[in-house]
Amino acid sequence: MEELKKYLNENQDPKVIEKILGKVNELLTTNETVEYIAVQKKPIVTLSPDCVALTNKRVIFCSPKTLGFSMSFVDFQWKNVRDCHIKEGILGSTFKTLSVGGKMASVDYLPKNQARILYRFAQEREEEMSEYRRQRELEEARAGAGGVTVQSPKNETISTPDPLESLQKLKGLFDSNLINQQEYDAKKAEILAKL
């Protein structure tokens, strides 16, 4: 019961949270932990409500099927989440998640306080992952423009591109403000030295 207390909010039914937590815990990967669970609260009696579980690695949407005897799970890794948002209404809130690839999932009739906690946590993770994706794109662009030799996972060397092509890509990065003047000049000198 002590473990459940951190998830109980807005008069959630402890038995429902315990059941959902048990199912979600079976899905967790190494070093993954559940951070919060929000449970749907429809105005009519719902035997098996939908819910959203947030972990340190992903968002998991849980939908009971066939009177709660089975469950359907849809999950998004945080690095693939483009946007999470809530919409508050009279009878509760809707929490939606949109992936980088355009896939979407949502749960409606969440108590407003639970939806706000989901949103706050999701925004923190989105900021972290947005920066992660931006850094990866920059690294890939710089590697592509600089003629860098990259080791593949099988230790096969990938050949360097043509220096003239590298100069053109480098100029494109500079013109797009993806690299600054110092980085441009340094990389340009390095490429020209190879000619």
Q: What is the pLDDT of residues 27-43, one digit of tens each?
A: 899 999 998 888 888 87
Where in the chain are the domains? 3-129, 147-193
Q: Give the predicted TM-score (pTM) of the model.
A: 0.64
* Assigned token pair, 9: 């909010």
Beta-bridge mates of residue 21: none
Q: Check if CATH label 3.60.15.10 holds for domain 3-129.
A: no
Ranges of H-type helices in the chain: 14-25, 112-146, 163-175, 181-193
**pLDDT single digits (tens) 117-153:** 889 998 888 888 877 778 888 888 877 776 555 554 5
d(CA 152, CA 140): 14
pLDDT above 50: residue 169: yes
